[in-house]
Each structure stands twice: as structure tokens, then as C-alpha cells.
Structure 1
Amino acid sequence: PSRYRRLLKTELTECERQFIEKRLAEERSAIEQLAASTFPLAFDTPNRGIENASALMAAGIHG
């Protein structure tokens, strides 16, 4: 990826620039997907914890 960033700092045709930007976006997306599939609990746990706490509080107040 740093190779592509270096290339973007050079003089390129519009077609070349679009190709490089597309490749950078594809690589960024692949890394994000890999991170999400590798660490799914790290992204899900905080929201579920808040939802569970809210449900318990609501049950205690209304129950």
C-alpha cells in the first residue's frame, strides 16, 4: 500500500490515478473485512452489553 501512496505523489494520468485509488480502496476494504471476521467479539460485545444492561434495568423498574 505504501507503494501506491508514493505513486499518488508523482505525476500520473487520470486513468493511472483512478486505478491506484481503486486498488488502495480495495486493499483497505479487504483489511477491514479481515479485521471484522478475525475479531468479531471486539465489535459486538460493547453494544450487546449496553442492550443487556438496559433490558435488565427496564425489567427491574417495570417488574
Structure 2
Amino acid sequence: MNLAKLRGALAEKGITQRELAKKLGLTTKSVNAKLNGRCKISVDEAASMSKILKLKEPSTIFFD
């Protein structure tokens, strides 16, 4: 998983961790832990993030 690319995609789309957390139904603290590698991102969360960020090639982020 390439967390730097994921954080970059968030910045590129102008989506904050708080906004992402709300869309995923998670706490901001939980999203922060996932984006910093302290907690794993589930397959369902990765799929949701891909849709939220409208990623064309999510495999480059989630399957490094």
C-alpha cells in the first residue's frame, strides 16, 4: 500500500481527513491512523476510498 499516494490523492481532490472520515462512517482519529499506517485499511474501505476519490487506477495505491 502506498500511503503517500493516497494522501496525495486526498490533497489533490481537496478532501480533508475529517471529510473522508464522515463519508466512510469512521472517526477522524481512525482515518488518521489508517493514513499513517498505524491501522490497516480494509478491502471495503479501500473500495469506498477509491469511489470517493474517483481513482482511475486504485491498484497503484492499494496494491503497491
Structure-1-length-normalised TM-score: 0.24
Structure-2-length-normalised TM-score: 0.24
Greater RCO (CA < 8 Å, at least 6 residues apart): 2
Bigger share in helix: 1
